[in-house]
Amino acid sequence: MRRFRSLVRSATLEALAEPLSAVLFLVALIAVPLLPAFHCHQFGEAGRLPRECGFSALLVFGIVFATASAVRVIGGELSSGTAAAALARDVSRPLFFCAKVIGVLVAFALFSVAVGLSTVASVATAEMGEVQERLGYAHVWLPGLVSMVVLTLAGFALAAVLNRFFRMRFCVTACLSVSGAQVIALALVAAGAKVPMQWSLLPALAALAAGCGVFVVLAGALAVRLPPAAVTTGISLAALSSFVWPVRAILPDIQMFWLVDSFSYGGAPAVGQLASAFAVGALLSAFWLAVGSILLERREIP
Amino acid sequence: MSNVPAIEIKGLRKTFRDFWLRPVAEAVRGIDLTVEKGDVFGLLGPNGSGKSTTIKLLLGLLAPSAGTVRLFGMPPRTRAARSRLGYLPELSYLHPFLTARETLLYYAGLSGMGGKAAKARCAELLEQVGLSAVANRAVGGFSKGMARRVALAAALVAKPELLVLDEPTSGLDPIGTRDVKDLIRSLARDGVTVLMTSHLLGDTEDVCTKIAILSKGQVAAFGRTDELLTRKQDARFTIAGLDEEQAKAFAAEASARFGREVQFDHPRVPLEEFFAETVGEGR
Ligand SMILES: Nc1ncnc2c1ncn2[C@@H]1O[C@H](COP(=O)(O)OP(=O)(O)OP(=O)(O)O)[C@@H](O)[C@H]1O
Ligand SMILES: [Mg+2]
């Protein structure tokens, strides 16, 4: 168990320590509240754009962040030799592979939670919105929008301060503090908004995260044998086009995890839909974890 | 159980192959070696003679093309065998974002150690390799020799019974080199078996009780260092406080007595000793 924990922790740290991760966290968490606010058209429903924006941010930024991390952690360890130093110890290869991938999934879960909270806050902000003539007729509730954006930026600034005065790792702290900022922003929005919060978005976003998780594990498994650039590009393209033949024939169809449409006009996804998305996600992740473990078991580590 | 050798290699061969399975390099061509418990074993040989490959084969990181490897009588991929082993790779592979202390704690965790015991062990090792002052700096910014010291401490963290060191002194300053040699000797006194490679023949000679010389993937010479290097038929004397004149007289006397040619010279201190005296123990 100690071995497992050490491996998971180091993989999570490595995923978050990469500068690209901090940038993706920041961009995604700014994009979720800001992008929908500046559209004049509401598509007949104020919450629709922020909802779609949240799901898209999780899918696009999440897949790029997590597959790149998985490839870097697994492929990087194998090519840089740190895997050899670990596997020369009393650590079995399946444990090494699974723990490292799970470590990346933990980092991805942090990202998903942050985007999820931000999406709930952003939907409430949009529903409170009114037309602002000064802002090009944008449909905005300024107090909510400003607190979300400012708190996210403040989280980033806090990381800089902690790095300056306490030498804490900037990128890791930034990912954590911008995520923490979402909790405060959501609390502020929930306190100030006079509309019901759509908590049911969270399980639907979690289902999407489960779908993305499959691609993360798949990326890790492929990185055992293939060069990093090829895996990152291939997986990102495959995930984003997983509903297109022939990809849909061999990989999980992201549409199965994409439950945003069921929220139209006050609806919510059925429990069965959610449950089957989680079940398929877990099953496929377990399958690719096993494949990756077997690939690593058979690989030579020069 | 007690007379099982620490390492037993029989008929070991390794051919590296490319993607199409064409042979690229025949790195190891039939090696037989036995390292008994308590030996300090030096594996020598020119660049590309297969030293690192042999080590990776015996750690189970590479799969042999032919032959067998046994660690304490067990195949190297068994966890029981590897739990008794510490490995210092040829290059100090470290996670650049971890500090020296975190690196050691990570490796302690991988050996199943945790809590206060692991922390105390890491602090002790940092002290031992002279890195206590920089324990909280990220190893990504370390110099080559500092990284080497971290990697060495990482190999020692679980108090292994068998220590496999691939060029332990590469990148170290002369005092670091001497510290490592002292460390190896003191570990050997505690009963730790050591297998090391090195290009510094003098260092190997100083610490190794047995050596094997590899050449083109084969064992060219193997045996106890003393037996291989000592010329029992000759004798050499060092007499303190003898000047040139007295020495000449003594040589002449000895020559007359034994009917042999007698040579003498004045001993030099090794540069290592002189260096250590000059810079002191501080770094
Ligand atoms: N992963 C690999 N793929 C292909 N060939 C390899 C690989 N690793 C080593 N070799 C080849 O095997 C031979 C032995 O290499 P090895 O690293 O064991 O030498 P060495 O004795 O450790 O040399 P050095 O003193 O330079 O460290 C070399 O010809 C090398 O090119
Ligand atoms: Mg070598």
- Cα distance between residue A115 and residue A31, in whole Å: 10
- Residue B192 — pLDDT band, cuts 50, 70, 90? very high
pLDDT digits (tens, 9 = 90+) for A272-290: 889 999 999 999 999 999 9
Return the pLDDT at A250.
Answer: 64
Mean pLDDT computed over B22-31: 93
Task: Report the first-to-last Cα separation within chain A, whole angstroms.
Answer: 27
Give A279's contacts (C-beta < 8 A, 6+ positions apart). Answer: none
Query: Considering only residues 19 to 58 of chain B, which have any Cβ-Cβ distance to chain A shorter than 8 Å?
Result: 56
Higher pLDDT, A41 or A282: A282
Kindly write down the DSSP assignment for every residue of A37-99, as one continuous string: HT-S--TT-TTHHHHHHHHHHHHHHHHHHHHHHHHHHHHHHHHHSHHHHHHTSS--HHHHHHH
Q: Is B53 in the pocket of ligand 1 (CB under 6 A)?
A: yes
Q: Mind listing the pLDDT tens digit for each residue in B167-181? A: 998 888 888 888 889
Instruction: Give the chain B residue whose CA is nearest to the CA of A11.
Output: B95
Query: Mean pLDDT throughout B159-163?
Result: 93
Mutate to test the interface with A, among B110, B113, B116, B162 (most CBs of A within 10 A): B110
Local confidence band at B150 (pLDDT 50, 70, 90 cut-offs): very high
**Residue B90 alpha carbon, nearest atom of ligand 1:** 27
Q: What pLDDT is attached to residue B240?
A: 87
Cα(B110)–Cα(A90) distance, rounded to whole angstroms? 7
Asked if B87's CB is within 8 angstroms of A81's CB, the reply is: no
Other Cβ atoms closer than 10 A to B236: 8
Ligand 1: which residue has its CA nearest to atom 28? B48
CB interface of A with B, residues 124-183, below 8 Å = 167, 169
Range of the domain at A171: 2-298
Instruction: Say yes or no for a CB contact (<8 Å) between A3 and B112.
Output: yes
Query: Does ligand 1 have an atom closer than 6 angstroms to the CB of B200?
Result: no
A-facing residues of B in 98-127 (CB < 8 A) are: 98, 105-114
The number of residues making up chain B comes to 283
CB B110 within 8 A of CB B130: no
Mean pLDDT of the region A211-234: 88
* Mean pLDDT, rounded, of chain A: 88
Lowest mean pLDDT across A31-45, A62-76, B43-57:
A31-45
**Residue B255 to residues B233, B245, B251, B259, B262: CA-CA distances in angstroms?**
16, 15, 6, 5, 6
Q: Can you tell me the mean pLDDT for B117-134? A: 92
ipTM of this predicted structure: 0.87
Residue A265 — very low, low, confident or very high, per pLDDT cuts 50/70/90?
A: confident
A17 compared with B274, residue with greater pLDDT: A17
Nearest to B111 by CA among A9, A7, A92, A91: A91
pLDDT number for residue B204: 86
Total tally of structural domains belonging to chain A: 1
**Nearest Cα residue in chain A from B52:** A302
For B40-51+75-215+223-229, CATH gives 3.40.50.300
